[in-house]
Amino acid sequence: MTGLKIIVQETLFGAPAVVLATSLPRDIYSQGVHALTYFNVWMLIVSLLGGGCIFVIWDRLAGSRQKQYDSERLFQHLFQFSADAFFLCDKDGEFVDVNHQACAGLGYTRQELMSLSWSDITDAAIDNLLSRTQHLTTAPPPPMEAVFSGKHGYSYPGDITITHLKLQGRSLFFVLVRDITERKAADNMLKEQKARLNFLAYHDVLTSLPNRLKAIEFLQAFIARAKQRDTVVAALLFDLDRFKNINESLGHETGDEILMEVSRRIKGLLRDSDVVARFGGDEFLVLLEHPQDKEGIKTVAEKILEAIAHPLQIGQQQFYLTGSIGISLFPRHGKDAQAILMAADSAMYFAKEQGRNTYRFFIPSLNVDVEERLYLETDLREALEYRQFDLFYQPEFNLRTGQVECLESLLRWQHPKRGTVGPLEFIPLAEDTGLIVPIGEWVLHETCRQVMLWRQQGLPPVRVAVNISARQFRQAGFIEMVFRVLKEYDLAAEWLELEITERFVIQSAEHARNMFKVLRQAGISLAIDDFGQGYSSLSYLRKFPFSKLKMDRVFIKNVVSDPHDEALATAIIAMGSSLGMEVVAEGIEGREQLDLLRRLGCPLGQGFYLTLPMGGKETAEFLQRISRNSPDMIKAFSD
Ligand code: C2E
Ligand code: MG
Ligand code: MG
């Protein structure tokens, strides 16, 4: 605080003086002190802050260096001990570094590998790889597959991932290679499994042929193309005759082998552009895309039948097979695949009805026949119950003496609407449906009953021959049934003869031989029927105990006009006789045939020229006549 003081005092010279004195505090000084204090405080704070910052920065720097060091170590560790192979290389593919796995995977030491370059170890061109890094900047390029070749010819497939790096001013490429051997193997397995599944969906496991589904697809595709090009497609439906019997009697394994062989044979004779598929159990479908003409189709059908007819050796056994083929044509027989297949099916049944071992083209009236077949089957089932069957008898004559050697019983069906139906019209159906077994049993009963009646009427005893179907022979208990019937009608076994077609003997050789032995030992005669249809040789048949051989009427038909047939008939007669079999010429229809066969020394004969098949009553009269008169009463033997 300022104060004013008045001081009175003397001057130096003794003069009075008033001194006015004011006392004021010294501001500047204090301000200066203040300022200095502030300055010092601020300096302290700034120093402290600065020091702190420096400390923090230093600390950070030290930390980041440690981190860098750590991450480098980590990277080195990962680089070296990764399960994947790493290559660090420059743009020329020279290696800057490689990891442990890169060496191990290729079987090289590090030194060896470092002396090589990228192009020495893989087929993936480095330029190609490097260009992949240029296109994509934000994300690494997708992996690329390549094969890596190592030491001693070892190689493995790998996935390559590549990244571009700038290291110490150098442009380098970091390549990761992942061994994908296992993945590839798994992929391949998956692919194989998929392919297999796909194959199974469209192919038959047994024959490896396309299956029904695939066959229909082929047919649809062929039809679509044929529509565009205005061409024709032919469908040939092939069915093995009586294959069911083989399967039933010889087992499915044999059946399977036969089917495989059949499929090989059919395949072997078709062109690559043709299709053969397994259409069902024993059905094969052959498709011909734009066949030349009808003759060409016929040739294929004939070739198939021929190929099947060659004897088939399965293990110890030889089989002689036949088949029936139904043929339909697009666009003539149907607008689409379904219609074409139905037409081929009808034609195939037609071929079977026509005696099998043949082919038939579809004709529109066949559709009706398929329906008729269904009706026929129903009717056939009722025929036994309603006693619509009847037997006719046709004698076999001794061609030298004219005496009756035997009476063959022949089945007839007296259909309520159709009239008399011949066995050829319904026996194949009866065989297919199995109805032949009860029908055949009825035939044997009825024949034996008839013989018993004739005997009771005092007619001369005569041997009877009964036709037995292959299916009946295979039926368990067949032999027992025959003996039972003989006993029931008190007929000695020597008065019975069983006629068996050649095909059964061939198809069931072992089984047949055993059965024949039992029958022969019991005194029953055995005849081989329709011999010469090309199924077996005489020397083969020698193994079986046949006492009679019935030469098919195809040889007799032209025996007079065709020297070839005459030669064949001569050979069969001579060989049959030399093997101890009586030979019967079937189907003698005229005088010239009879005379020639007599000249050739054929011992027995049967045919319309000698006598037609006769009903039971008529046969009794016939037997009556010949017992009273000489054989000359038969016109054929009269001169
Ligand atoms: P198959 O055993 O060869 O019988 C002879 C066939 O030839 C008979 O025909 C007979 O009528 C016929 N035939 C006889 N002489 C002549 C002739 O001079 N010219 C011509 N063209 N034919 C002649 P069918 O009665 O129609 O019998 C045909 C086939 O049906 C028989 O041939 C036989 O295999 C079979 N069959 C007949 N009855 C039975 C039977 O009861 N059971 C079995 N499983 N099959 C039978
Ligand atoms: Mg016969
Ligand atoms: Mg015959």
Token pair of 335 as six digits: 């607008």
Cβ of residue 427 lying under 6 Å from some atom of ligand 1: yes
* 556 pocket-lining for ligand 1 (C-beta < 6 Å): no
How many whole angstroms from 499 Cα to the centroid of ligand 2?
Answer: 6
For ligand 1, whether the C-beta of 375 sits within 6 Å is: no
Q: Distance between CA 457 and CA 453 in Å, rounded?
A: 6
d(CA 440, ligand 2 centre) in Å: 13
Give how far Cα 52 sits from Cα of 49, 58, 60, Å: 5, 10, 12
Q: What is the DSSP string of 199-229?
A: HHHHB-TTT--B-HHHHHHHHHHHHHHHHHH
Atom 34 of ligand 1, residue of closest alpha carbon: 467
Distance (Å) from CA 373 to ligand 1 centroid: 21
Tokens standing for 248? 């039933």
Rg (CA), the chain: 54
- List residues, by chain if needed, whose CB lies under 5 Å from ion ligand 3: 529-530, 586
What's the confidence (pLDDT) of residue 4?
67
Helices in 522-607 by DSSP H: which ranges? 538-541, 553-557, 563-578, 591-599
Chain-centre distance for alpha carbon 286: 14
CA of 386 to the centre of ligand 1 (A): 23
What is the C-alpha to C-alpha distance for residues 149 and 174, in angstroms, rounded to an integer?
19
The full set of domain ranges for the chain reads 4-79, 82-184, 203-364, 375-557+613-625
How many CB atoms are located within 10 Å of the residue 167 CB?
10
587 lines ligand 1 (CB under 6 A): yes
Ligand 2 centroid distance, CA of 597 (Å): 19
- Ligand 1 lined by 497 (C-beta under 6 Å): no
| Ligand 1 atom 25, closest CA | 410
Please state the three-class secondary structure of 106-158 as a single string.
Answer: HCCCHHHHHCCEHHHHECCCHHHHHHHHHHCCCCCCCCEEEEEECHHHCEEEE
**C-beta 611 within 6 A of ligand 1:** no
- Ligand 1 in reach of 525 Cβ (< 6 A): no
Nearest CA owner, ligand 1 atom 20: 587
Q: Kindly state which CATH superfamily the domain 375-557+613-625 is placed in.
A: EAL domain (3.20.20.450)
Q: For residue 418, what pLDDT is reported?
A: 83
Question: SS3 of 18, please?
Answer: strand
Ligand 1 neighbourhood includes 277 CB (under 6 angstroms):
no
> Which ligand is located closest to the Cα atom of residue 584?
3
Ligand 1 pocket residue status of 447, Cβ below 6 Å: no
Residue 139: which residues within 8 A CB-CB, separation 6 or more?
none
Task: Check pocket membership of 607 for ligand 1, CB cut-off 6 A.
Answer: yes
How far does the centroid of ligand 3 lie from the alpha carbon of residue 550, in Å? 6
| CATH class of residue range 203-364 | alpha beta
Ranges in the chain, pLDDT < 70: 1-4, 12, 19, 21-26, 71, 134-141, 365-373, 503-504, 506-509, 533-539, 629-635, 638-639
**Measured between alpha carbons, how far is 76 from 254 in angstroms, rounded to an integer?**
69
The minimum-distance atom of ligand 1 relative to the CA of 440 is: 42
Range 82-184 classified under CATH 3.40.50.150:
no
Counting ligands in written order, the one closest to the CA of 423 is 1
Which residue's alpha carbon is at the smallest distance from atom 27 of ligand 1?
423
Residues 6+ away with beta carbon under 8 Å from 176 = 84, 85, 86, 160, 161, 162
* pLDDT, tens digit (0-9, with 9 covering 90-100), for 138-149: 566 677 889 999
Q: Ligand 1, atom 42: nearest CA belongs to which residue?
A: 467
Q: What is the pTM of this model?
A: 0.54
- Collapsing DSSP states into helix, strand and coil, what is residue 393? strand
CA of 340 to the centre of ligand 3 (A): 36
Q: Return residues with CB closer than 5 A to ligand 2 (ion).
A: 467, 499, 529
Q: Look at strands 548-551 and 582-585 and give their pairing.
A: parallel
Nearest CA to ligand 1 atom 43: 467
Sign of the CA dihedral 541, 542, 543, 549?
A: positive
Tokens of 450: 């008839």
Distance from the CA of 528 to the center of ligand 3, in angstroms?
Answer: 8
State which ligand 1 atom lies nearest to the alpha carbon of 411: 38
Q: Which ligand is nearest to the CA of 443?
A: 1
Ligand nearest to the CA of 469: 1
Residue 258 CB burial class (10 angstroms; 0-12, 13-18, ≥19): buried
Residue nearest to ligand 1 atom 15, measured at CA: 607
Please tell me the number of the ligand nearest to residue 607's CA: 1
What's the CA-to-centroid distance between 410 and ligand 1, angstroms?
A: 6
* C-beta of 411 in contact with ligand 1 (< 6 A): yes
Q: Counting Cβ atoms within 10 Å, is residue 560 exposed (0-12), middle (13-18) or buried (19+)?
A: middle
The CA 488 to ligand 3 mean position distance, Å, reads 28
The pair of three-digit structure tokens given for residue 481, joined into one six-digit string: 């049934």
What is the Å distance from ligand 3's center to 408 Cα?
Answer: 10
Which two tokens mark 14?
């003794």
Best of 392, 586, 593 to mutate for ligand 1, by most ligand atoms within 8 A of CB? Answer: 586
Axis crossing angle, helix 212-229 with helix 337-353, rounded to the nearest 10: 110
- Whether 394 lines ligand 1, by a CB cut-off of 6 Å, is yes
pLDDT at residue 399, rounded to an integer: 94
Choose among 198, 228, 202, 204: nearest CA to 216: 202
**Ligand in nearest proximity to the CA of 530:** 3
> Which pLDDT tens digit goes with each residue over 505-529?
765 667 788 889 999 999 999 999 9
Going by alpha carbons, the residue nearest to atom 45 of ligand 1 is: 467
H/E element holding 171? strand 170-179
Nearest atom in ligand 1 to 606's CA: 15
Ligand 1 pocket check: which of 421, 427, 549 to mutate, most ligand atoms within 8 Å of Cβ? 427
**Angle of the 252-268 helix axis to the 243-250 helix axis, nearest 10:** 140
